[in-house]
């Protein structure tokens, strides 16, 4: 009898057309903790081979060829509210789909303008708020931050702006931040809702100038849009000359409704790679910061990088969990691949943290921190750069590529992790891609395992004197010298002029002409061959893709004596020079402090399992499965959560630069992922949202 009553109670608690508790995906990180864990368990190791695509939705985001379409990244993770999925395309168009069929219910286009088309063109998601007793217009709201720096409130039922929020459903976030007007200030991550408050950070263009926009974090009333509080991450910056900008929170903020705290993963002060105008540790930049969600007052903070010169901002969403002794805890995964764990009430470390000496800068006026914090937990990826040329399954770097890498390393400075930038070039390892990037980590509360995709790719950072030879060469001569067709045309021109000379000689000086005036002379042929030979190496010198964070980047760093040249330390096949794997997934048990397993994730070469750089992260389910994509090969993978063994893979139309999500509706479990290609490979972009389910 008690079993029948319990079953009836459970059935009545779940409304028709809604997911049961723990089987939905109500926030970007899966739940308020950001654990990316689901109790859905219909899909398991015994039936994985029956998993297949059941619907596919196209956003058509690229059809209009809007400015920046070439570099647009479909990085969204949908959320589920009721039986509706909500998500965004890279241009902030919001879609509402039937979660069972993928049929569109509505879409809302905010018609963004004024964004930088060469910046990061993406939107990772939305947040939903629901009134205690929803009834009437806008009693359920979708919140979105846009690339052109607006916070929007949209009726979740029909896609119409909520007119009572701000000004006709929008708040201009450019106010009060010392907006620079260059299009690099906006929002790329989902806002965070806690109670009746919506909290939003911002994205600020990296390495553009010292006095970039402020990294203000702001909270607004969900119904009226009235600003409730703001928090300035760098209050000391106003006294600097020039003023130091940024320290912004561009990634996802996590909320704890029980403690009434929000946890901010803050970024670097501006610019990322030159800090002479921002002396000291730059407190609260590159930090995990806990704020009172009611007032915005800082409760505690911990800085994971002092005086950042490597773009080691906290990219991952903070993860809330319960420690083995019952302590409410928070785990912070970093671009360095290190993991810090704290009591989330007061910031007390739950695993020891020590300050260790690190390399120092040789740039005049730059004063690097003498030490950096290191966690006692094992890193998710190696902290030391080493060259490597093979994988166990047969991939082997070519002899030429080995030479390219050895030369690249020999001509750059490297003293270990936290080697500062130099004017001759320094090796950054891990690079600014991580470690762990915005894909964040997943956590299984039943085992204590944290799962994280981690990148393993070295970058080079070089400070270029603004008035030096390099800049004169780069702006005046380099484009001409590296234009290999110009050398071919020049060689042909030598031959043509030589033949013309023969005919002119025949006309002007009869009797002295060559027997075959239509053929160039031997000296002319030799000269042309030498000129044409120059084109050979130039044809292999591919023009760098100016893709911020992914490839070659020459950034202005205005108001400083230097520009920044940042680029991946790759071989001629565009593979990282460091030892493979170039990407992996690591499982770290937060209860024991030990690595449970590591496995190579994806590949960047058909010749072997090299591992792949990835953007996006994993999720984990109660069935003991970890799902992830995000690599440069087009697969959604299911791994055994206990061993890391790959159990299944499903083909995607394009590689996914996103994190999956899962939910169970009407007894059917779905895995949904956005597959839009990698912005680092601009020849392969798409617009698909795909759902997988069992037969």
CA 535 vs. chain centroid, Å, equals: 36
Q: What share of the chain is helix, strand, coil (3-state, %, to 5)?
A: 15, 30, 55
Peptide bond into 173 cis (omega under 30): no
Sheet arrangement for strand 104-108: 79-81, 84-88, 94-98, 104-108
**Amino acid 525: pLDDT:** 86
**Neighbour count for residue 429 (Cβ, 10 Å):** 25
**Neighbour count for residue 511 (Cβ, 10 Å):** 5
Strands (E), 257-338: 261-265, 287-292, 298-303, 319-322, 328-333
Structure tokens at 484: 């290999």
Q: Strand pairing partners for 106?
A: 96
Q: What does the DSSP assignment read for 209-242?
A: BTT--B--EEEEETTT--EEEEE-S-GGGGGSSS
**Is CATH 2.40.50.140 the right assignment for the domain spanning 29-470+567-693?**
no
Whether the CB-CB separation of 567 and 544 falls below 8 Å is answered with yes
Structure tokens at 470: 């390099």
Backbone angles phi, psi at 88, to 5 degrees: -125, 155
Q: Strand pairing partners for 665?
A: 668
Whether the CB-CB separation of 690 and 102 falls below 8 Å is answered with no
Whether the CB-CB separation of 117 and 99 falls below 8 Å is answered with no
Burial 557-577 (b: 16+ CB within 10 A, else e): bbbbbbbbbbbbbbbeeebbb
Structure tokens at 68: 């920046």
What is this structure's pTM? 0.90
Helices 484-508, 522-540: crossing angle, 10 deg rounding: 170
Q: Strand pairing partners for 605?
A: 608
**Neighbour count for residue 542 (Cβ, 10 Å):** 11
Kindly tell me the burial class for residue 261, based on how many C-beta atoms sit within 10 Å of its own C-beta (0-12, 13-18, 19 or more). buried
Q: Strand pairing partners for 231?
A: 217
Tell me which DSSP letter residue 435 carries: S
CA dist., res. 130 & res. 256, Å (int): 17
SS3 (DSSP) at 4: helix
Which of 57, 43, 56, 18 is CA-nearest to residue 665? Answer: 18
Which of 658, 546, 516, 525 is CA-nearest to residue 207? Answer: 546
Structure tokens at 680: 């680092």
Show me where the domains of the chain are located. 29-470+567-693
Structure tokens at 129: 């708020």
CA 245 vs. chain centroid, Å, equals: 21
User: Could you write out the three-class secondary structure of 467-522?
Assistant: CCHHHHHHHHHHHHHCCHHHHHHHHHHHHHHHHHHHHHHHHHCCCCCCCCCCCCCH
Whether the CB-CB separation of 277 and 244 falls below 8 Å is answered with yes
Whether the CB-CB separation of 690 and 673 falls below 8 Å is answered with yes
Which of 264, 224, 270, 220 is CA-nearest to residue 247? Answer: 270
Which of 543, 545, 561 is CA-nearest to residue 471? Answer: 561
Angle at 187 between CA 123 and CA 156, to 5 degrees: 65
Profile the chain (695 residues) by mean pLDDT over runs of 10 residues: 34 55 92 97 97 98 92 95 98 98 98 92 97 93 98 98 98 96 95 98 93 97 98 92 95 98 97 95 97 98 98 98 98 98 98 98 97 98 97 95 96 98 97 96 98 97 86 63 74 85 74 68 85 66 50 88 94 95 98 98 95 96 98 96 98 96 97 88 82 95
SS3 (DSSP) at 281: coil
CA 87 vs. chain centroid, Å, equals: 18
CA dist., res. 67 & res. 338, Å (int): 37
Cα distance between the two ends of the chain: 34
SS3 (DSSP) at 411: coil
**Neighbour count for residue 376 (Cβ, 10 Å):** 15
**Amino acid 473: pLDDT:** 66
Whether the CB-CB separation of 649 and 636 falls below 8 Å is answered with yes
């Amino acid at each position: 009898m008690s079993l029948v009553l319990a079953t009836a109670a459970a059935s009545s608690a779940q409304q028709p057309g809604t997911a049961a508790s723990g089987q939905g995906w109500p926030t970007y990180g899966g739940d308020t903790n950001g654990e990316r864990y689901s109790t859905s368990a219909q899909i398991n190791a015994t039936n994985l081979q029956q998993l297949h695509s059941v619907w596919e939705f196209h956003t058509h985001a690229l059809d209009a060829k809007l400015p920046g379409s070439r570099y647009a990244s479909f990085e969204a993770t949908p959320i589920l509210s009721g039986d509706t999925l909500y998500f965004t395309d890279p241009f902030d168009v919001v879609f509402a789909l039937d979660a069972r069929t993928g049929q569109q219910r509505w879409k809302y286009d905010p018609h963004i303008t004024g964004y930088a088309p060469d910046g990061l063109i993406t939107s990772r998601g939305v947040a939903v708020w629901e009134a205690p007793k929803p009834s009437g217009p806008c009693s359920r709201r979708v919140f979105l931050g846009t690339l052109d720096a607006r916070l929007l409130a949209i009726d979740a039922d029909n896609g119409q702006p909520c007119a009572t929020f701000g000004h006709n459903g929008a708040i201009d976030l450019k106010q009060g931040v010392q907006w620079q007007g260059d299009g690099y200030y906006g929002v790329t991550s989902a806002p965070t809702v806690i109670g009746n408050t919506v909290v939003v950070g911002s994205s600020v263009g990296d390495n553009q100038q010292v006095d970039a926009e402020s990294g203000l974090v702001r909270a607004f009333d969900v119904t009226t849009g009235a600003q409730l509080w703001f928090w300035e991450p760098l209050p000391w910056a106003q006294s600097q000359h020039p003023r130091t900008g940024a320290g912004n929170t561009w990634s996802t903020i996590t909320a704890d409704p029980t403690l009434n705290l929000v946890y901010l993963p803050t970024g670097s002060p501006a610019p990322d790679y030159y800090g002479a105008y921002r002396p000291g540790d730059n407190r609260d930049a590159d930090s995990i910061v806990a704020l009172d969600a009611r007032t915005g007052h800082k409760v505690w903070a911990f800085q994971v990088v002092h005086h950042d010169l490597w773009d080691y901002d906290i990219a991952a969403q903070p993860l809330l969990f319960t420690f083995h002794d019952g302590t409410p805890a928070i785990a912070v995964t970093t671009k360095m691949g290190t993991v810090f764990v704290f009591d989330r009430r007061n910031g007390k470390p739950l695993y020891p943290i020590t300050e260790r000496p690190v390399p120092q800068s040789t740039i005049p006026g730059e004063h690097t921190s003498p030490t950096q914090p290191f966690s006692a937990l094992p890193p998710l990826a190696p902290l030391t750069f080493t060259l490597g040329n093979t994988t166990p399954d047969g991939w082997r770097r070519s002899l030429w590529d080995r030479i390219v890498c050895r030369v690249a390393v020999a001509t750059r400075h490297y003293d270990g992790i936290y080697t500062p930038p130099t004017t001759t070039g320094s090796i950054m390892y891990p690079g600014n891609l991580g470690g762990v990037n915005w894909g964040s980590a997943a956590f299984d509360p039943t085992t204590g395992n944290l799962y994280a995709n981690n990148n393993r790719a070295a970058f080079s950072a070089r400070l270029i004197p603004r008035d030096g030879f390099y800049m004169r060469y780069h702006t005046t001569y380099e484009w001409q010298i590296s234009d290999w067709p110009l050398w071919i045309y020049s060689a042909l021109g030598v031959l043509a002029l030589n033949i013309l000379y023969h005919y002119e000689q025949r006309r002007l000086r009869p009797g002295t002409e060559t027997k075959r005036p239509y053929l160039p002379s031997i000296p002319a042929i030799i000269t042309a061959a030498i000129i044409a030979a120059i084109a050979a190496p130039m044809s292999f010198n591919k023009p760098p893709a100016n893709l911020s964070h992914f490839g070659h980047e020459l950034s202005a760093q205005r108001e400083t004596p230097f520009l920044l040249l940042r680029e991946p330390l790759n071989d001629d096949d565009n593979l990282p020079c460091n030892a493979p794997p170039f990407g992996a997934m690591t499982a770290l048990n937060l209860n024991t402090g030990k690595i449970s397993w590591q496995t190579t994730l994806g590949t960047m070469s058909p010749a072997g399992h090299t591992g792949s750089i990835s953007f996006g992260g994993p999720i984990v389910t109660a069935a003991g499965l970890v799902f992830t994509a995000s690599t440069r090969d087009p697969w959604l993978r299911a791994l055994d959560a206990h061993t890391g063994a790959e159990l299944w893979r499903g083909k995607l139309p394009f590689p996914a630069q996103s994190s999956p999500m899962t939910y169970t509706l009407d007894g059917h479990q779905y895995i949904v992922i956005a597959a839009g290609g990698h912005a680092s490979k601009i020849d392969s972009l798409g617009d698909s949202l795909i759902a997988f389910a069992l037969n």
